[in-house]
Chains A and B, each alone.
Chain A
């Protein structure tokens, strides 16, 4: 009898899912997707997460967690599970689940929806949950240490190198999204620039005036943000000030690099901490408001269920549905980066093992729900607008007429006036080729929010609110990521030069910061100057790396299951690992070696170097210099893909070897850390 409500839920979910999957040729309400997702997630949580915790992990509510046996009131604090859920969710939800699904909408809403729903239930949430479990049983250690403990020091170092490179790519791609959203937009640029002095004022407030009053200072900051958005309109309309805040993408690229270098060495209380308050609370608020707005508005999906680009040849990103959809929606379905969070602060705060499914599995389901909302956002826009915003300028040209003609030729009829009007509605000069996902989502959010509050007159305000909300937490991530990257690099170099590891001394810190900024700055510059829009090149590399990290985390989980002598349940992690390996290895190999120059880096480089040898210029290069730059970038990207492939394949070998050894052992061989091994504080 206790199963009855769940059976009903499952039936509702199945109906919603089949409506989503089968209706063609007429518009369906976005709520079908949302309902399908919610029902599936609840049922999966009730049954699959429970199965994993009872049968696979053997969670023991009576076993003390690190928060209990190491309690110190600071890092290790037994925390109420609802409170901890908020903490964990705020740490895992970022720009990734918002951008990936928007880009994935180029294939229609159906493939993305199905992958998010199935991916999170069987892979993403399993990964987060397993890593949380593994770390929780090992004193809350980090992913790198866990790999070292269970798979050996070489595997641990390889995983660290891979993690650092992923960090670099993430920072570059996030910064690129900001560049794409703020270029030629004085309103957006002004509001985002205003957050820097605003955050510093907040920092001064918490430092000297009312120390520690986060609530107070956040409200003041929020008022400041709203004023900045409102005032931004005057800036955009002013003949003197608009040009001051209008930047080309290349200028913005250097501004961001400079910003990253300076911000990451400032004291944390001055800029990073106060802006993190704003971005965290704004993010949670905006996500909640978006969910509410979608339920109230119940918008119809204007995007097709499937577009002709499922076979490849799409303008937003290259490649066919398999494998590229599965790396484009990285966060949201499964995100390797979460393994770092689930082995970060969360395992030190969990008060009993029985909270782990709610935090680990449930937190990721929530993130997938955010991804579903982003996908819905992109799909309620007129497909003509979607493709006009997300195709590179090389395809669209720059005038509304040329863009409308190009998009209409793709099979998505759109009038030039609609493009002009949409830009005017949101208070921008143009919406043509505003790639990167963030502007598209902002238009969608403006559509939804203005439906609920303010009507069409408020669209411009809501658009810039959405841009600000995305830019704000991306800038926080750039700053925080550069710091984190610096420490990773110091630890890595420290393996060879031990003195480099001293976190407090000045020179190694400065050098590591400089290398870190130079590394992501290089890829950012490459993306900004990429004629195909940059997102086209960088997002797949990011996706591959993030999914590979997920594969690494799941391989670790597999090793642990084998060492626990739970091999009969190892399919729980082996299946998602295998799927991620298939997707990322084939995507990586295609990016490396595909003969299609639109997909493969090396064939693109070959095409350009052959032309260069003949003394020919290939568009978009305008000089031999640019030709050489393109070739060089292609080769760097190819090398990066090769390194990622090496990282994953070598860790796969370690995994297989360790599993075989564990199989031959006649008893469990895991390295769990028990309370008696740690002196009480």
Chain B
């Protein structure tokens, strides 16, 4: 049940262009342990700009 809710949450966030922050942290820890990852708010702003800066990648 908790897993399902987690999926739904993740899906809802990705629908508005916010990928998983946890996955980002994992990626940074794994591949770039030397760099400081963005904090949650920076990550949010970064993704917000990426999604909406050039339109919203949406259909009619």
Q: List the interface of chain A (C-beta within 8 A of B).
A: 71-75, 77, 79-80, 82-87, 90-96, 170, 174, 206, 211-212, 214-215, 268-269, 272-273, 276-277, 280-281, 284, 331, 335, 337-338, 340-341, 344-345, 349, 476-477, 479-481, 483-485, 487, 546, 681
Given contacts A86-B14, A87-B14, is CB(A546)–CB(B31) below 8 Å? no
Q: Are A681 and B31 in contact (CB under 8 A)?
A: yes
Return B32 CB to nearest CB of chain A, in Å.
Answer: 9
Closest 3 CB pairs of A and B: A484-B55, A212-B44, A480-B56
Q: Are B40 and A75 in contact (CB under 8 A)?
A: no
Q: How far is the CA of A485 from the CA of B43 in the complex (A)?
A: 26
Given contacts A73-B28, A273-B48, A273-B52, is CB(A546)–CB(B15) below 8 Å? no
Return B20 CB to nearest CB of chain A, in Å.
Answer: 7
Within 8 A of A (CB), among B1-39: 7, 9-20, 23-28, 31
Nearest-neighbor residue (CB-CB) of A542 within chain B: B60
Q: Are B58 and A476 in contact (CB under 8 A)?
A: yes
B-chain residues with CB within 8 Å of residue A280 when the two chains form the complex: 15-16
Q: How far is the CA of A591 from the CA of B33 in the complex (A)?
A: 61
Q: Are A212 and B41 in contact (CB under 8 A)?
A: yes
Q: List the interface of chain B (C-beta within 8 A of A).
A: 7, 9-20, 23-28, 31, 40-41, 43-60
Q: Are B11 and A86 in contact (CB under 8 A)?
A: yes
Which residue of B11, B55, B60 contacts A174 across the interface (Cβ within 8 Å)?
A: B60
Return B2 CB to nearest CB of chain A, in Å.
Answer: 15
B-chain residues with CB within 8 Å of residue A485 when the two chains form the complex: 55
Return B33 CB to nearest CB of chain A, in Å.
Answer: 13
Q: Are A272 and B59 in contact (CB under 8 A)?
A: no
Nearest-neighbor residue (CB-CB) of A269 within chain B: B48
Q: Are B49 and A480 in contact (CB under 8 A)?
A: no
Q: Are B56 and A211 in contact (CB under 8 A)?
A: no
Q: How far is the CA of A291 from the CA of B57 in the complex (A)?
A: 25
A-chain residues with CB within 8 Å of residue B24 when the two chains form the complex: 73-74, 77
Given contacts A215-B12, A273-B52, A484-B54, is CB(A170)–CB(B19) below 8 Å? no
Q: Are B58 and A480 in contact (CB under 8 A)?
A: yes
Q: Are A214 and B16 in contact (CB under 8 A)?
A: yes
Given contacts A71-B27, A77-B23, A80-B10, is CB(A341)–CB(B46) below 8 Å? no
Q: Are B60 and A170 in contact (CB under 8 A)?
A: yes
Q: How far is the CA of A258 from the CA of B43 in the complex (A)?
A: 32
B-chain residues with CB within 8 Å of residue A268 when the two chains form the complex: 48-49, 52-53
Chain A binding surface, main DSSP class: helix
Given contacts A71-B31, A269-B48, A681-B31, is CB(A487)–CB(B19) below 8 Å? no
Q: How far is the CA of A77 from the CA of B17 in the complex (A)?
A: 12
Interchain residue pairs with CB less than 8 A apart (26): A71-B27, A73-B28, A75-B50, A82-B11, A84-B14, A86-B12, A87-B15, A174-B60, A211-B44, A212-B40, A212-B43, A212-B45, A268-B48, A269-B45, A272-B52, A276-B52, A335-B60, A338-B59, A340-B57, A345-B57, A476-B56, A476-B58, A480-B56, A480-B57, A483-B56, A487-B55
Return B43 CB to nearest CB of chain A, in Å.
Answer: 8
Nearest-neighbor residue (CB-CB) of B27 within chain A: A73
Nearest-neighbor residue (CB-CB) of B28 within chain A: A73
B-chain residues with CB within 8 Å of residue A74 when the two chains form the complex: 19, 24, 46-47, 50
Q: Are A477 and B58 in contact (CB under 8 A)?
A: yes
Given contacts A77-B19, A80-B10, A83-B7, is CB(A546)–CB(B60) below 8 Å? yes
Return B29 CB to nearest CB of chain A, in Å.
Answer: 10
Q: How far is the CA of A280 from the CA of B45 in the complex (A)?
A: 19
A-chain residues with CB within 8 Å of residue B45 when the two chains form the complex: 211-212, 269
Which residue of B9, B20, B28, B60 contacts A477 across the interface (Cβ within 8 Å)?
A: B60
**Besides A280-B16, A546-B60, 8 new A-B residue pairs in contact (Cβ under 8 A), listed by A number:** A73-B27, A74-B47, A77-B24, A170-B60, A269-B45, A269-B48, A340-B57, A476-B56
A-chain residues with CB within 8 Å of residue B20 when the two chains form the complex: 77
A-chain residues with CB within 8 Å of residue B27 when the two chains form the complex: 71-73, 77
A-chain residues with CB within 8 Å of residue B16 when the two chains form the complex: 214, 273, 276-277, 280
B-chain residues with CB within 8 Å of residue A83 when the two chains form the complex: 7, 10-11, 14
